[in-house]
Amino acid sequence: MTETNTTSPLKVWLDRDGALLRLRLDRPKANIVDAAMIACLQAAFDAHRASPGLRGVLLDAEGTHFSFGASVEEHVAERCAAMLAALHALIITMVEFPLPILTVVRGQCLGGGLEVALAGGPIFATPEAKLGQPEMSLGVFAPAASCLLPYRVNQPDAEDLLFSGRSISGAEAKAMGLVQTVADDPESAALQYFDQHLAPKSAAALACAVAAARGPLIRSLRARLQEVETLYLERLMKTHDANEGLAAFLARRTPNWKHA
């Protein structure tokens, strides 16, 4: 049952006789995580948080790529506060969601797109998928990923991805622990996982298990997101290089760093 209209950037429907909530980013090829996409994801999670009999969520994307990332236009100084507040509210909603969120990644999963994936549970990706936090190339950093990546991989690997801005393949992400399953058809692999491991379980027990497993992350995430958001808005966005990097990207030119 599809619950969205054709103009929405997100497809929402229930699968497996109402046991599985399907969410599909539906603005290919980039599937940009902008204000409209964030609002639709937030509304879908809010609407189904207490759905009876629901045992999980499967998040994927239409087209070749999961997401090129957040909207760069919404990162500029006069707009980034609202963008960060909405994205971080969504991240908290996903981390606190009472059921497992399975994410399927094909093609590029970058920036804000990877941050959304990190807020869920296991990631199922193709071997050739590309995952990364390229924000450093624009003179900025990835606030939510700075909080979430160390829970997924070890600190040196998290810092490598955050500082270098490089992308890694699905196979390398699997070896790092960032991706849990690599498959040529990750959607089928995720559905098989749900059918075998989640569908037979009690929704009430799953909700308690998620709360128990994510307790430390849930307790720390609100404070950590506020810290990095303040750092981003009150320090980073007052630098020349952050504003220059974003302007250069939008103008499709090479940035002129002043290292200040």
Establish if 199 belongs to a structural domain. Answer: no
What was the pLDDT predicted at 56? 98
What was the pLDDT predicted at 6? 60
Q: Would you say residue 221 has pLDDT above 50?
A: yes
- Average pLDDT on 195-217 reads 97
Establish if 195 belongs to a structural domain. Answer: no
Q: Would you say residue 69 has pLDDT above 90?
A: yes
Amino acid code (one letter) for 62: E
Domain with 88 in it:
1-185+207-260
For position 160, which CATH number holds? 3.90.226.10
d(CA 104, CA 124): 5
- Average pLDDT on 110-131 reads 98
Q: pTM of the full predicted structure?
A: 0.96
Q: Would you say residue 78 has pLDDT above 80?
A: yes
What was the pLDDT predicted at 1? 47
Of 81, 94, 136, 83, the C-alpha closest to 111 is: 136
Establish if 104 belongs to a structural domain. Answer: yes
What is the average pLDDT value for the chain, to the nearest integer?
96
Of 177, 170, 128, the C-alpha closest to 148 is: 177
Of 3, 10, 6, the C-alpha closest to 59 is: 10
Strands 123-125, 101-105: pairing kind: parallel
- Average pLDDT on 90-100 reads 98
DSSP symbol at 138: G
Q: Would you say residue 4 has pLDDT above 90?
A: no
Establish if 192 belongs to a structural domain. Answer: no
What was the pLDDT predicted at 7? 85
Establish if 55 belongs to a structural domain. Answer: yes
Tally the domains of the chain.
1
Q: What are phi and psi of 248, to 5 degrees?
A: -65, -40
Q: Would you say residue 132 has pLDDT above 90?
A: yes
How many angstroms separate the Cα of 98 from the Cα of each of 77, 122, 206? 35, 15, 8
Establish if 103 belongs to a structural domain. Answer: yes
Bridge partner list, 102: 58
What was the pLDDT predicted at 240? 98
pLDDT above 90 coverage of the chain, percent? 97
Establish if 191 belongs to a structural domain. Answer: no
- Say whether 20 sits in a helix, a strand or coil: strand
- Average pLDDT on 147-176 reads 98
How many angstroms separate the Cα of 243 from the Cα of each of 157, 233, 235? 27, 12, 12
d(CA 163, CA 151): 17
Where is pLDDT greater, at 7 or 155?
155
d(CA 258, CA 255): 9
3-state helix, strand, coil in the chain (%, to 5): 50, 15, 35
From the centroid of its chain, how far is CA 248?
Answer: 25
